[in-house]
Structure 1
Amino acid sequence: QNRYPPNIVRNQKYNIVSFLPLVLYEQFSFFFNLYFLLVALSQFIPALKIGYIVTYFAPLCFVLTVTIGKEGYDDWKRYKRDQEANAQIYQRLSPNGIENVPSANIRVGDMIVVQKNQRVPADCVLLRTTEISGACFIRTDQLDGETDWKMRTAVPSTQKLANDAALLRVSGSVYAEKPHKDIHSFVGNLNHHMPTGEQIEPLRVDNTLWTNTVVASGSAIGLVIYTGRETRAVMNTNFPSTKVGLLDCEINRLSKILAFVTLVLAVSMVALNGFRGLWYTYMFRFLILFSSIIPISLRVNLDMGKTVYSMQIMGDDNIPDTIVRTSTIPEELGRIEYLLTDKTGTLTKNDMELKRLHLGTMAYGGDSMDEFRSQVETAFSTRPGQETFRFKRARDISSRIREIVQALALCHNVTPVISEIDNTVTYQASSPDEVAIVKWTESVGLTLFSRDLTTIQLRTPEARTLSYEILDTFPFTSETKRMGIIVRDGTTGEITFYQKGADTVMARIVQYNDWLEEECGNMAREGLRTLVIARKRLSEDTYREFQRRYGEAKISMNDRNALMEAVVSDVLERDLELLGLTGVEDKLQDDVKNTLELLRNAGLRIWMLTGDKIETATCIAISAKLVSRNQAIQQIAKVSDPMQALDELDFLRGKSDCCLVIDGESLQVSIRLL
């Protein structure tokens, strides 16, 4: 364990030895302070001495004392926050039972218990949770800024153990890849040492708990794999540097101009005297006499004003619990020119609602949803003896409705959770889109009744329970832009692969159709987020072959993710049957329109970032008042040629008042040109 760094949080800029030298170096890097230091030092030269030395050193010392005191106070507050984090008590499993240890004493290889709403102190592999399903939800807003809960799953072999104490009797080892910054990937193996040989179990990012995430449901037991500076959180944190505001830079620049003016005045005075005698000595004396033109008290007043301003920000009742981490640049809040904002959860409420459903030849939305509910009732009211008839290729309306609703109720990562207080059921998922779709299937009659790591149970309008075995899941990632699941029907034994994702990706995977692109565009222009749903039936032989190849890829230590994706693409993602298209609405936050309009009128340039289609982004921008009245909208999309991008930018420069909507590919090409 001594090979690994200690699990200490340290955000300080200085220590006892480096504090004074570094602060003085930073202060005298400014011409303003250096100028007055040289003027004060000149008084030790008898030929240049004018007045008492104390009159030159006292103001400079006072300025430096105030600045050093402010820097020391800011760093002391960082130190106190670090001490608080390092002293947090956690429970550690040991042969002697549960021990209480501070966060700073946690080491690689420790098994720690993290309670609900407690911060994860080090990067861990999730071994067990109190949830029967083995799932655990975490909040990652302190790590990646996202407010959505993320689902993590315990390692299946350790979750199945009888109790927590059984973890101490497991003989095995964990292989973890070299520490790196990417919080969305992890490659590792859990090797079980058994009498019959070694059993290898793959570890993915879904089996991890990163530092500074917070356990949101139940409690979890994690095996520490990275500590201190090797954790993802620390590796993504830049060491605190000295921040210099524009006002300080402007004062520094003005002081240089005034120093040049004093030099011109000194040379002029010597020139008027005809450069007689020791004229260079007289020139330096004039420079010292004219040094009062630069007011040394300006820097003191500025620093004290910033300190008071920072205290007022922290004490403002309109923004409670605000922490000013550095008091050197609070005035920069009044100099903001650009506002960069995410859309989902920032401009919008992150409260999704399914508004439209398109099945190719049929579309439902608004008033027609009542008719859809009655058709769902009909579709799922089949008697057990006739159930297989519904899945034949006779594509009647009831059959197609059953297929799409069933796919939406199965293809997700949502877990129903029963409240201990009032027994109400809430849905937990890593994305609000998932919850919105499951709530919608519940509203039309097909309810998600229960879910664990191996089974999903649905309840029909007639209160019958449909059981499905989960064979494999493929979580959504920002790279793949899709998620999938393989399930086995508990009644018929049929194996089905369901997949849903962005239309840009799914269009290449599903069978040929002539309506998907057009309908996606129509929904996007209404401001709806589109999701394509498809499926593929698998034979037992096909699934066994996939399981064999996928299992080999999962335990590979080289290019594991690429090998896994290749197997999925080769076996599963070919000629999927297109079931339908959903349109989900995300409502705007309260008062977001007035706020953005006020900011825009104040001269701020606002950039909104979203992963939606360009038509959806345009619609949201208009409804959120991101675009002013009568303002032209210029769209740049699918530009891959630099010359074409240059033409688009030249055309844009010719417009005086214009809103730009640009996709990621075109933006990347344009940035290279600039």
Structure 2
Amino acid sequence: MMLHCSSLFLKKINFVFVLRLQNEKWMNVKVGDIIKLENNQFVAADLLLLSSSEPHGLCYIETAELDGETNLKVRHALSVTSELGADISRLAKFDGIVVCEAPNNKLDKFTGVLSWKDSKHSLNNEKIILRGCVLRNTSWCFGMVIFAGPDTKLMQNSGKTKFKRTSIDRLMNTLVLWVSEVHDDMGQKTDMTKKKAVDFSVNPQADRTFQFFDHHLLESINLGDPKVHEFLRLLALCHTVMSEENSAGQLIYQVQSPDEGALVTAAKNLGFIFKSRTPETITIEELGTLVTYQLLAFLDFNNFRKRMSVIVRNPEGQIKLYSKGADTILFEKLHPSNKDLLTLTSDHLSEFAGEGLRTLAIAYRDLDDKCFKDWHKMLEDANSATDERDERIAGLYEEIERDLMLLGATAVEDKLQEGVIETVTSLSLANIKIWVLTGDKQETAINIGYACNMLTDDMNEVFIIAGSTAAEVREELRKAKENLFGQNRSFSNGHVVFEKKQPLELDSVVEETVTGDYALIINGHSLAHALESDNEKDLLELACMCKTVVCCRVTPLQKAQVVELVKKHRNAVTLAIGDGANDVSMIKSAHIGIGISGQEGLQAVLASDYSFAQFRYLQRLLLVHGRWSYFRMCKFLCYFFYKNFAFTLVHFWFGFFCGFSAQVSKKAIFFLL
């Protein structure tokens, strides 16, 4: 077996084939080993999925320790390797060569090429199982180790454990040897509070009573209106939802976002039921009739496209492209004949947005066979490319997603846990700055911000940093600061420190005076460039001038880096609160770490200084118990020093009267007291 890993560092690994499986400790796992995983087992290394017990090489994983999401995700092996099955002799003789990227901390991206049997196959994140995942609903699977030990993406995102010392503790060490606890910091003014966007939504698995408010919609479905059927068919086909049946035979949906779950459930309640999917097919039940569609292509969502599409072939042989996404993006892709429906839909979307609902536009396109075959051939070539793969694929997506026919729009309401809005409002009134560091996609993070009143329509401006290079991020940060202060930048002491083009030379960032409310939103890719040494102070300056900061699609390591950035350049007390294993690094880095016990395990709780069950308890912990603890500790320290000075100085004073003899000033009983 041979493995080439990265064009930056290539190494060959030769193995003596042993035609049997043997148990090994994680520490003995090496690059190139083939590992068998069984259901509910943790993944020991970053693996290339070769085969599994499920049809078409599928397997299901839980990534709660990586990104905090408890829903199951699907991974599928290449068709050429899935044929290996569980045949140990064939697996041991696997001699593929993998050329892939160097080890990095990007959890949502992988680029590589597998060369085997005189052909090349592109590899992406859908073919990789990362260390820290748990195999679910899959009897077994085999994978080849791509990265092991400290090179795995999980370890690349891990932070070091540090002993935490409070400000009172540091002050005491200059006076007397003393030991304290982290609750001393809780009562102080917390200039910067870090928090992950904990799952505030109502449990998506809870039973709901579905109510029909629009009887015209039901009539249109019953009468067979083709546009209405196409609309519901799109909702049942265009998504990333996975389905499974529980022991009672009920259909359970595993969703990556609550919006997708709501839309698929709505289609289900209206008669278009998503049943199952494989890498090549999607099966739905249309008004009692089981229909299987051939899945030809999946055009995934990202923050730049702001839409997703699927291309399917129906049983009649027609090829359809179904697309859903942000209305501002999708409306630009519509055919000119949609003018009247576009006007009506825009009015409805404005009404929905005014009610605080999250909206999506829905559209489709008919494709002919020749057009699709030519496009799909170019897509295969782009997927096999090693240079500029992402740019070529994005261009092909743009080419096929045009001349769409509008079907309508959707609106989804998101409810929060009890007390979330009140807690955020109270902390803001206490001059505690709240930053959201989340692994969720940008749209979800923004919607949570609006739902919590951290983002409002009354804000002067919302800055979105989305540069793909360090230079682009630096320019966007500079323009955002110019919008705040024009040509100069003023600090709270009223002095002009530098003109707009003069570089910053301060060792720390001090408090700024800003008129108006501003918000900063930045995604994980841009944040990686913003945290570089040349840009980090610009980022922190802009963030400190904003009322609200939202960092989305960030890795566990980036969360910790943001906390460390504030600790390095600001004289502030930081607090990190999270509920998942992906928050552990952030919790350990902050002055005060708080874990919330919930559906994502106890890793955050075990790594934290304090823990509780719901986010709303943070208000009382900070504003009541933390403040009281600080006052009590300060009063006790005053008593402690007074007692020691009084006890010591009495002996010194008494020495003048006893001639500094062995005579004691107090009886032995006083020493015991």
Q: TM class by shorter-chain length?
A: 0.5 to 0.7
Instruction: Report the counterpart of residue 402 of structure 1 in structure 2.
Output: 229
Instruction: Report the counterpart of residue 339 of structure 1 in structure 2.
Output: 193
Instruction: Report the counterpart of residue 268 of structure 2 in structure 1.
Output: 442
1:542 shift after superposition? 0.8
**C-alpha separation between the residues in 2 aligned to 1:152 and 1:143?**
15
Q: Deviations over 1:280-312 (max 9, x none)?
A: xxxxxxxxxxxxxx4x3xx23x2xx43xxxxxx
**C-alpha separation between the residues in 2 aligned to 1:620 and 1:108?**
46
1:224 shift after superposition? 0.5
Instruction: Report the counterpart of residue 277 of structure 1 in structure 2.
Output: none
Which residue identity is paired with 1:520?
A: L
Describe the SS at the equivalent of 1:247. helix
Greater RCO, CA 8 A, separation 6+: 2
Instruction: Report the counterpart of residue 222 of structure 1 in structure 2.
Output: 143
Which residue identity is paired with 2:333?
A: I
Equivalent pair of 1:529/1:616 in contact (CA under 8 Å): yes
Which of residues 28, 32, 35 in structure 2 aligns to 1:112? 35
1:557 aligns with 2:411: no
Task: For 1:296-315, list aligned pairs within 5 A.
Answer: 296=176, 299-300=177-178, 302=179, 305-306=180-181
Which residue identity is paired with 1:115?
A: E
Which of residues 126, 130, 153 in structure 1 aligns to 2:49? 126
Q: Deviations over 1:550-587 (max 9, x none)?
A: 111111111222221122222x1222222221111221
Which residue identity is paired with 2:329?
A: V
1:212 aligns with 2:132: yes
Instruction: Report the counterpart of residue 17 of structure 1 in structure 2.
Output: none
1:439 shift after superposition? 1.2
Equivalent pair of 1:524/1:616 in contact (CA under 8 Å): no
Instruction: Report the counterpart of residue 582 of structure 1 in structure 2.
Output: 410
**C-alpha separation between the residues in 2 aligned to 1:426 and 1:185?**
28
1:489 shift after superposition? 0.8
**C-alpha separation between the residues in 2 aligned to 1:556 and 1:207?**
17
**C-alpha separation between the residues in 1 aligned to 2:451 and 2:520?**
14
**C-alpha separation between the residues in 2 aligned to 1:487 and 1:452?**
13
Instruction: Report the counterpart of residue 297 of structure 2 in structure 1.
Output: 472
Q: Structure 2 vs 1, CA of residues 190 and 653 (structure 1 numbering), >3 Å: closer, same or farther?
A: same
Instruction: Report the counterpart of residue 231 of structure 1 in structure 2.
Output: 152
Instruction: Report the counterpart of residue 620 of structure 1 in structure 2.
Output: 451
Task: For 1:44-193, list aligned pairs within 5 A.
Answer: 95-165=18-88, 166-193=90-117
Instruction: Report the counterpart of residue 375 of structure 2 in structure 1.
Output: 546
Task: For 1:265-284, list aligned pairs within 5 A.
Answer: none
Tell me the TM-score normalized by structure 1: 0.62
**C-alpha separation between the residues in 1 aligned to 2:204 and 2:414?**
6
Q: CA RMSD in A?
A: 4.0
**C-alpha separation between the residues in 2 aligned to 1:615 and 1:145?**
18
1:493 shift after superposition? 0.5
Q: Deviations over 1:440-486 (max 9, x none)?
A: 1110011112321111122122x222221011112223443322211
Q: Deviations over 1:383-411 (max 9, x none)?
A: xxxxxxxxxxxxxxx12101111111111
Instruction: Report the counterpart of residue 171 of structure 2 in structure 1.
Output: 250
Which residue identity is paired with 1:645?
A: L
1:3 shift after superposition? 11
1:234 shift after superposition? 1.6
1:164 shift after superposition? 4.3
Q: Deviations over 1:623-664 (max 9, x none)?
A: xxx69xxx9943414696654332699999576xx8655555
Equivalent pair of 2:299/2:397 in contact (CA under 8 Å): no
Task: For 1:512-661, list aligned pairs within 5 A.
Answer: 513-515=342-344, 517-570=346-399, 572-596=400-424, 599-600=427-428, 604-608=432-436, 611-612=442-443, 619-622=450-453, 633-637=458-462, 642-646=481-485, 661=519
1:488 aligns with 2:313: yes
Q: Deviations over 1:248-287 (max 9, x none)?
A: 44345xx3xxxxxxxxxxxxxxxxxxxxxxxxxxxxxxxx
Describe the SS at the equivalent of 1:99. coil
1:458 aligns with 2:284: yes
Tell me the TM-score normalized by structure 2: 0.62
**C-alpha separation between the residues in 1 aligned to 2:352 and 2:463?**
20
**C-alpha separation between the residues in 2 aligned to 1:155 and 1:608?**
37
Q: Structure 2 vs 1, CA of residues 209 and 249 (structure 1 numbering), >3 Å: closer, same or farther?
A: same
**C-alpha separation between the residues in 2 aligned to 1:472 and 1:613?**
25
Describe the SS at the equivalent of 1:442. helix
1:510 shift after superposition? 3.0
Equivalent pair of 1:469/1:488 in contact (CA under 8 Å): yes
Q: State the identity %.
A: 26
Equivalent pair of 2:4/2:99 in contact (CA under 8 Å): no
**C-alpha separation between the residues in 2 aligned to 1:351 and 1:660?**
32
Q: Structure 2 vs 1, CA of residues 615 and 199 (structure 1 numbering), >3 Å: closer, same or farther?
A: closer
Structure with max Cα Rg: 1
1:375 aligns with 2:203: no
Equivalent pair of 2:3/2:98 in contact (CA under 8 Å): no
Equivalent pair of 1:415/1:450 in contact (CA under 8 Å): yes
Instruction: Report the counterpart of residue 510 of structure 1 in structure 2.
Output: 334
Instruction: Report the counterpart of residue 320 of structure 1 in structure 2.
Output: none
Q: Structure 2 vs 1, CA of residues 93 and 496 (structure 1 numbering), >3 Å: closer, same or farther?
A: farther
Q: Deviations over 1:342-363 (max 9, x none)?
A: 55x533236399x9xxxxxxxx
Equivalent pair of 2:4/2:97 in contact (CA under 8 Å): no
**C-alpha separation between the residues in 2 aligned to 1:585 and 1:93?**
58
**C-alpha separation between the residues in 1 aligned to 2:166 and 2:237?**
53
**C-alpha separation between the residues in 2 aligned to 1:244 and 1:430?**
39
Aligned length: 476
Which residue identity is paired with 2:107?
A: I
Instruction: Report the counterpart of residue 239 of structure 2 in structure 1.
Output: 412
1:432 shift after superposition? 2.9
Describe the SS at the equivalent of 1:97. coil
**C-alpha separation between the residues in 1 aligned to 2:445 and 2:255?**
26
1:206 shift after superposition? 0.9
1:188 shift after superposition? 1.2
Describe the SS at the equivalent of 1:423. coil
Q: Deviations over 1:602-637 (max 9, x none)?
A: 553334578349995675134xxx69xxx9943414
**C-alpha separation between the residues in 1 aligned to 2:372 and 2:126?**
23
1:349 aligns with 2:188: no
Equivalent pair of 1:143/1:212 in contact (CA under 8 Å): yes
**C-alpha separation between the residues in 1 aligned to 2:149 and 2:267?**
45
**C-alpha separation between the residues in 1 aligned to 2:227 and 2:280?**
27
Structure 2: unaligned runs, 5 residues or longer: 6-14, 337-341, 465-478, 493-511, 531-537, 546-673
Equivalent pair of 1:149/1:431 in contact (CA under 8 Å): no
Q: Structure 2 vs 1, CA of residues 216 and 526 (structure 1 numbering), >3 Å: closer, same or farther?
A: farther
1:515 shift after superposition? 4.8
Q: Which stretch shifts more, 115-124 or 542-551?
A: 115-124
Q: Structure 2 vs 1, CA of residues 670 and 352 (structure 1 numbering), >3 Å: closer, same or farther?
A: farther
**C-alpha separation between the residues in 1 aligned to 2:59 and 2:327?**
30
Equivalent pair of 1:408/1:438 in contact (CA under 8 Å): yes
Equivalent pair of 2:58/2:76 in contact (CA under 8 Å): yes
**C-alpha separation between the residues in 2 aligned to 1:520 and 1:671?**
36
Q: Structure 2 vs 1, CA of residues 517 and 352 (structure 1 numbering), >3 Å: closer, same or farther?
A: farther
Instruction: Report the counterpart of residue 276 of structure 1 in structure 2.
Output: none
Q: Which stretch shifts more, 645-654 or 130-139?
A: 645-654
Q: Which stretch shifts more, 532-541 or 512-521?
A: 512-521
**C-alpha separation between the residues in 2 aligned to 1:373 and 1:95?**
63
